Amino acid sequence: YPDEIVLDGKSYKTDEWTNIPDFILELTKRQLHQNPNHPIGILRDLIERNMKDMGYTFYNNFKPAVTTFQNFDVLGFPDDHPGRSKSDTYYLNKDNLLRTHTSAHELECFQTCETPGYLITADVYRKDEIDRTHYPAFHQLEGARTWSKNTPNLEEQILKDIESIPKTNIIVEDPFREQPINAENPKQDYMTEKQVQLIQVHLKKSVEFLVNQVFETARESARLAGSTEPYLNEPLKIRWVEAYFPWTSPSWEIEVWWKGEWLECCGCGIVQQQVLLNAGLGEDKLGWAFGIGIDRIAMLLFGIPDIRLFWSLDERFSNQFQQGKIATFVPYSKFPGIKRDVSFWLPTDSLLHENDVMEIVRTHAGDVAESVANIDEFVHPKTGRKSQCYRINYQSMDRNLTNEEINEVHNKVEADLKKYFDVEIR
């Protein structure tokens, strides 16, 4: 790495934590959620329009570099949380990273927001597996809402606020399975049982409304496009499951039944008082927060088969989408892929993590890395040495690849595996 990395006009001195390839730094400039004619921007716009006049401020301009304090510490992440590790997170240096979630901006929003609630949309970054639905950059939409404890008749006010959320015809599966508020996920002392109950209902109704509107738009578009599938006329089915986040308690996750599968959609919960205190709000506030990943939902709504397409610069992609419309993506010609295997012996006590292999492939292949899979693993019965084999499919969305260029990329992948993890290529 160079001595410094400049990002959004700020300079970061690199150190032993720095682990951001140029490929990822380039992605931070794209800001797809701000493009009103891109599926991610169209979905953001749709959600904002549905939530208009409901007391939320919309934030769409937060830059992706944040401090470890904003992303983790202030939210109560324990020191040994795996999210903090270099194999999960892109660090500019020890104290600065690419946000791994929009919750990194909760503090500043709680501090500055002048309406009862806010919505943040932003690009977020995580090292992750490589497949059709995972990409190291994706987007989240975060929401939060607070009340002042000094509101006269606070409980009646929350009830009124609940009533003002438009009704949906969502079916809540198994509502009595409702998570008990338990030791793992306790009620916090700063609220009464009644307040927890009311805020929980407000949170769940708000999330159900948001999700229902999005999926209703998807059904509407499918009907307009002539689809007659029966699910288009059935009410949306959801369920609430228990979840755990360091900065909310109790916490839940909503799952949506869509085309025969439960989709994990959105984590949420009642904000830990410590976060509100950290934001300087004193003991006066209570509230909830949620965070939705929007790429997966956009893939469903727009019929996009591969998450990498969102980042395509090909006009055959971008010309298909327009502000305010949910059109179904029409695939364009695919180019053949080139498969290469890499097998190696690991040194004893190797620290090689699957994500490290993914990252090395990403670094050299960029978007041409279509998939990487660990296809074989065994321990030699005599020597006790461990062997692994990864199958890499190099495939471009936009062009034919040559064997020569892929050999070159693949050699670099092997060289890095040797250099950084001391493996013996077989």
String of contacts with ligand PHE for each residue 104-143, x by CB under 6 A: --------------------------------------x-
- Minimum Å gap between C-beta 188 and ligand PHE is 14
Chain-centroid distance of CA 234 in Å reads: 28
Nearest to 43 by CA among 331, 308, 311, 292: 292
Position 269 contacts ligand PHE (CB under 6 A): yes
String of contacts with ligand PHE for each residue 140-179, x by CB under 6 A: --x-------------------------------------
**Exactly one of 68, 89, 248, 371 binds ligand PHE (CB under 6 A); which one?**
248
Nearest to 48 by CA among 208, 214, 204: 214
Tokens standing for residue 410: 């693949």
Does residue 182 sit in helix, strand or coil?
Answer: coil
Position 103 contacts ligand PHE (CB under 6 A): yes
- Minimum Å gap between C-beta 16 and ligand PHE is 26
Position 71 contacts ligand PHE (CB under 6 A): no
Does residue 285 sit in helix, strand or coil?
Answer: strand
Is the peptide bond between 250 and the residue preceding it cis, with omega within 30 degrees of 0? yes
**Rounded Cα distance, 121 and 271, in Å:** 19
**Rounded Cα distance, 107 and 71, in Å:** 10
* Burial class of residue 48 in the structure, from the number of CB atoms within 10 Å of its CB (0-12 exposed, 13-18 middle, 19+ buried): middle
| Residue number with CB closer to ligand PHE (59 or 390) | 59
| Residue number with CB closer to ligand PHE (243 or 392) | 243
- Minimum Å gap between C-beta 297 and ligand PHE is 14
String of contacts with ligand PHE for each residue 270-299, x by CB under 6 A: -------------------xxx--------
| Residue number with CB closer to ligand PHE (294 or 409) | 294
Tokens standing for residue 344: 């190696």
**Rounded Cα distance, 66 and 13, in Å:** 14
The single-letter DSSP state of residue 229 is -
Position 97 contacts ligand PHE (CB under 6 A): no
Position 211 contacts ligand PHE (CB under 6 A): no
Q: Which residues bind ligand PHE (CB under 6 A)?
A: 101, 103, 142, 245, 248, 267-269, 289-291
